[in-house]
Chains A and B, each alone.
Chain A
Amino acid sequence: MTIHVDVMPAIKAESKALSFYYGGTVQALKSISLALPDRRATALIGPSGCGKTTYLRCLNRMHDLYPGNRYAGAVFLYPDGLNIVDQTIDPIEIRMRIGMVFQKPNPFPTTIYDNVAYGLRIRGSIPRSELDGIVEQSLKDAALWPEVKDRLRELAFNLSGGQQQRLCIARALATGPEMLLFDEPTSALDPTATARIEELVTDLKQRVTIVIVTHNMQQAARVSDYTAFMYEGELVECDRTEKIFTNPSNKLTEEYVTGRFG
């Protein structure tokens, strides 16, 4: 086994003292400062209700869809240093740069082709030939192409759960995001489909920054380079994944990763 020497990777995004309040009053995140390295996968782990999904949904301003939610602090997106949670920044702009894959596969009830093409279509008119190429490439990147290449005009609902989730990944990839957010992407899938998604995440992190929320600690250990452990809305520890799982600095982290609670 070769020793993997990681020269400090560049930072893709970084939250500085990020707090978040649901409905303006319930504080779900308490001053989280966390750096997300460029083209690496960072896993967010922690017991239910610790705020990991809440944190993830801050990164593409998903919380803006529901009234009363409030952010404090900042999340900088590099290289330009744009503050993601700045209320003067249009969340549409953020979501055009940062893609998301959800817990339950949520394809649109249209064809496989239209699902992948949708993100591009709303970005303006793209010539048909070019669109075809991007759809094909995205489906290849999502490791779905061989299974669907002859039935792009069929409804996405006819795919299995695991295929639907890979379709959602292709839909997110089609727009060329700088960062991809995965919110427990395998919790609704069987072990085989889960393995394929994990493999895919491992491939994709060569090209795009990945943040993945997971309940499954083995999954975090398998796919991520960095792991952040959260507890009750606070960031307890963030370090190289091996370190978190073998030699964490914090007692609470050790108890969680060894399965003593959570």
Chain B
Amino acid sequence: MWLDMFLKSDIDKSINPNVVRRRILRSRLRDRLFALGGLVVMAAACLVLLALLLQLAYDGMGRVSWQFVISYPSRFASQAGILSAWIGTILVMFLTALTAIPLGMGAAVYLEEYAPKNWMTDLIEINIANLAGVPSIVYGLMALGLLVYEFHLGQSFLTAGLTLAMLILPMVIIATREALRAVPPQIREAAYAVGATKWQTVRDHVVPYSMGGILTGMILALSRAVGETAPLITVGALSFIAFLPHSPLTLEFPFLSFQWLFDPFTVMPIQMFNWISRPQDEFHINAAAAGVILLLMTLAMNALAITVRARFRKRIHW
């Protein structure tokens, strides 16, 4: 009887509807305030980006034409184009991907799956993260000293590709490791339990199942490399190239030529940089137009990354 009364009075005390409602109302208000603040901050970020894009499009769109895409640079702004620049960008990206992807994936697979976990690997891990943050101009200086002066690769496509590969290598390694880590240990154990070796487990399961994440990381790293200017200026990009590199395909045996690797190069951001440093306004418009096209290239790469990720996600959900 006494207990019953005690419980009842306690319940009456704690559930006072007015107090509870007021408290909820106050929490709700704070909730809404934060949401509003978040919205403002997000809108500001988006507006700045939009303004930049619109400015670029407004300046450059008028100049973007087929003629602009298929013309060599010229000292007459109205005749200048970006043919050597976009072909250069594609070739340099090709070399960068060809070098950075196998090296980065190999390093990541080793570090994640094979390397013993000790202070040595911890040190390497920390330093890879550090390398990802090193300013790109520093990579340019290193490439100049190593590739141009030491290995005599010249101011060539090869030098440019290798320089950018070094630049994005840490990013590729980090992205690959993240993707590998996302494969649950139960899947590895399943493979080991039927008698697979480590290499079979990695080759047949861990790497294929993390391919979505790996490819996304690669493409994002490459889309960063596409816009790099400083390290390429350092290794000696030419800003005025009115000819194309040697064709990688030839008519005579063996039908492949590597001569182009040693040709002088330019890329889109270098071409833009060159135009923007001219005093004439017409060249500034050219730079904006090239910017529009470079932006489209980057967006296309990002779209590809999203598609790849979506495709792999659909198949694999842990």
Asked if A162 is at the interface of the complex by the 8 Å CB criterion, the answer is no
Q: Verify if A172 is at the interface (C-beta below 8 Å from B).
A: yes
Shortest distance from the beta carbon of A232 to any chain B beta carbon, whole Å: 26
Any A CB within 8 A of the CB of B209:
yes
Q: Is the CB of A102 within 8 A of B186?
A: yes
Residue pair B315, A102 in contact (C-beta under 8 Å)? no
B307 at the binding interface (Cβ < 8 Å): no
How far, in Å, is B241 (CB) from chain A's closest CB?
48
B191 an interface residue at 8 Å Cβ cutoff? Answer: yes
List of A residues within 8 angstroms of B205 by Cβ: 108
**Given A67-B116, A106-B186, A118-B204 contact (CB < 8 Å):** yes
Q: Beyond A118-B204, A155-B315, is A106–B194 a contact (Cβ under 8 Å)?
A: no
Please report A residues at the B interface, Cβ cutoff 8 Å. 60, 62, 65, 67, 92, 95-96, 99-100, 102, 104, 106-109, 118-119, 122-123, 155, 157, 168, 171-172, 175
* Alpha-carbon gap, A155 to B209, bound state (A): 13
A119–B194 touching, CB < 8 Å: yes
Query: Which of B192, B193, B197, B209: most chain A Cβ within 10 A?
Result: B193
**CB contacts between A and B, total, < 8 Å:** 61
CB contacts (< 8 Å) of A100 on chain B: these are 193
Are the C-beta atoms of A175 and B194 separated by less than 8 Å? yes
Q: Does B187 contact A (CB under 8 A)?
A: yes
Residues of B contacting A109 in the complex (Cβ-Cβ under 8 angstroms):
187, 209, 315-316
Bound together, the chains give a CA A106 to CA B187 distance in angstroms of: 6
Task: Knowing that A92-B195, A108-B187, A175-B194 touch, tell me 18 more A-B residue pairs with CB under 8 angstroms.
Answer: A62-B192, A62-B193, A65-B192, A95-B193, A99-B193, A99-B194, A102-B193, A106-B186, A106-B187, A108-B205, A118-B191, A122-B194, A122-B200, A122-B204, A171-B190, A171-B194, A172-B193, A172-B194
Question: In whole angstroms, how far apart are the Cα atoms of A122 and B194 in the complex?
Answer: 9
A65→B209 CA distance, assembly (Å): 20
User: Please, which residue of chain B has its CB at the minimum distance from the CB of A181?
Assistant: B193
Q: How far is the CB of A128 from chain B (nearest CB, A)?
A: 18
Q: Which residues of B contact A104 (CB under 8 A)?
A: 186
B205 — nearest CB in chain A belongs to which residue? A108
Q: Which residues of B contact A (CB under 8 A)?
A: 116-117, 184, 186-197, 200, 204-205, 209, 315-317
> Would you list 27 pairs from A and B whose C-beta atoms are within 8 A, ordered by A residue?
A62-B193, A65-B188, A65-B189, A65-B192, A92-B195, A95-B192, A95-B193, A95-B194, A95-B195, A99-B193, A100-B193, A102-B190, A106-B184, A106-B187, A106-B190, A108-B187, A108-B191, A109-B316, A118-B194, A119-B194, A122-B195, A122-B197, A122-B200, A122-B204, A157-B317, A172-B193, A175-B195
Best-surrounded residue of B189, B192, B317 (most CB of chain A within 10 A)? B192
Nearest CB on A from B292, distance (A): 41
Tell me whether B190 and A67 are in contact (CB under 8 A). Answer: no
Closest Cβ neighbor of B118 among chain A residues: A67
- Nearest A-chain residue to B197, judged by Cβ: A92
Min CB distance, B16 to chain A, in Å?
43
Complex: chain B residue closest to A103, CB-CB: B186
> Measured between alpha carbons, how far is A100 from B193 in the docked complex, in Å?
6
How far does the Cβ of A99 sit from chain B's closest Cβ, in whole Å? 7
A61 to chain B, nearest CB (A): 9
- Chain B: minimal CB distance from A63 (Å): 11
With A and B bound together, what is the CA distance between A96 and B189 in angstroms? 13
Nearest CB on B from A163, distance (A):
16
How near does chain B come to A95, taking the closest CB pair, in angstroms? Answer: 4
Q: A211: shortest Cβ distance to chain B, in Å?
A: 14
Report how far A96 CA is from B317 CA in the complex, Å: 28
